[in-house]
Amino acid sequence: MPKGKSVTSSRRRERREQKNAGGVMFNTGLGQHILKNPLIVNSIIDKAALRPTDVVLEVGPGTGNMTVKLLEKAKKVIACELDPRLVAELHKRVQGTPQASKLQVVVGDVLKTDLPFFDACVANLPYQISSPFVFKLLLHRPFFRCAILMFQREFALRLVAKPGDKLYCRLSINTQLLARVDHLMKVGKNNFRPPPKVESSVVRIEPRNPPPPINFQEWDGLVRITFVRKNKTLSAAFKSSAVQQLLEKNYRIHCSVHNIAVPEDFSIADKIQKILTDTGFSDKRARSMDIDDFIRCCVYKGHWRRAAHRGYLENLMHRTCTACNSIWCSRWRLLALAHCYMDSMQKASIFLRQIKKRILQT
C-alpha cells in the first residue's frame, strides 16, 4: 500500500506541475519531456556558438523554453513539432513579440519531412527517433555547420564510443565515419517536466565536409556482417552459411550484369578467406577495429571488383585489336585500361565501343 500511495502522489504532483505550466498534459509516449532548467538551456545554446545570420533547426520545441532563447540569437528558427497542441502553445508564447516574425513552425513527423536549409540544429529530441534522425541529419544536403542534440545517456555514449569500449557498435563507427562527435555534458532527469526514466546527455555533431569517398552501401553491408557478433574474428563471422550464400548470390549477379565469367570450381568461402588473409584481417575482431581498418577492407574490395572489370576489358580489347589489326591498338588499349581503373564498368565499356568504332574508321 505505501508504494501505491507514493506512485499516486507522484502522478498527482506531475499533473499539478503541468497545469501550472499552462494546462497542457504532456504525452510521454511521444517523448514529450520539456527541459525546464534555464541554466542548461542557456548552456546548450552557448555550445552551439550561433551567429546573427544563422538559420536554426529545432526538433521538438515543446512549449518553447529553448525556442525563445534561439530567436534572440539567430536570424530565423525553423521548429518541427508533431503535436498541434504544443504548436498552439508555441505560437501563443511568441505572439506579439519582435521575434514572432523570425519563427517558422513545421507541423508533422520530422522523419517524413524534407528538411529545409539550415546552418545549425539545436534540439531536445524525442528519444525514440534518435538513431533515424541522426542519419537523416548526416545525409542532409547542403551541409550544416553543427548540431547540438539531447540524447538518452546510453545512446550518447554509443555515439562517442571508441574501438575496444564496451559500447562500441555499428552506430558508433557509422556515425564517426560521417561526422565528428563530442560528448558535451550530462543532464539529470530532474531537469525535465515530466522527468523521464533515464539520464540524458548533450552531444555535438559536426559533419565531415567533404564526406569520405566510399560507397556507403558497401560500407554498411560490411559493418553489419562484422558487428552481428563483434567479439568474433572476421574469419569466423564470414564463415556463416547465411553470409556466404548472400555474398555468393550478390557476386554472381554482379558478374552476370557485367559479363564476367565465373569459374566452375568457384568457391566464395575460398575467395573470402583469401581477401581476409591478404589484408591481414583474418584474426581481427570488429570490437577493436577502427574506421581506417574498415576503409582498408572496403578499398581492397574495390580493387578486387576493378580487377574483374580489368580482366573482362583486356579480353574484349584483345578481340578488338585482332579484328582491326591497327598500329594504334596498343595506345587505345592503355587508355581503356586506365579508364577501367578510374571509373565504372559501364562507362569503360561505352568508352571501349567508341574506341573500336574510331579504329575501324581509320
Q: What is the pLDDT along the chain (362 residues), one digit of tens a residue?
A: 444 555 455 555 555 555 444 567 888 878 889 999 999 999 999 999 999 999 999 999 999 999 999 999 999 999 999 999 999 999 999 999 999 999 999 999 999 999 999 999 999 999 999 999 999 999 999 999 999 999 999 999 999 999 999 999 999 999 999 999 999 999 999 999 999 999 999 999 999 998 888 878 888 888 999 999 999 999 999 998 888 898 888 888 888 888 888 888 889 899 888 888 888 888 999 999 999 888 887 766 554 444 444 444 445 455 444 444 443 444 444 444 444 434 444 555 555 566 556 555 55
Looking at residue 42, its amino acid is N
Sheet holding 103-107, edge to edge: 103-107, 76-81, 55-59, 120-124, 146-152, 200-207, 179-187
d(CA 124, CA 202): 9
3-state secondary structure of 231: coil
36, containing H or E segment: none
Spatial distance between the Cα atoms of 360 and 259, rounded to a whole number of angstroms = 24
Q: Distance between CA atoms of 144 and 54, rounded to whole angstroms?
A: 10
State the Cα–Cα distance between residues 211 and 345, nearest whole angstrom: 24
pTM: 0.75
* 80 φ, ψ (degrees, to nearest 5): -105, 120
Distance (Å, whole) CA 71 – CA 285: 48
CB 260 within 8 A of CB 276: no
For residue 20, what pLDDT is reported? 45
> What confidence score (pLDDT) does residue 353 get?
61
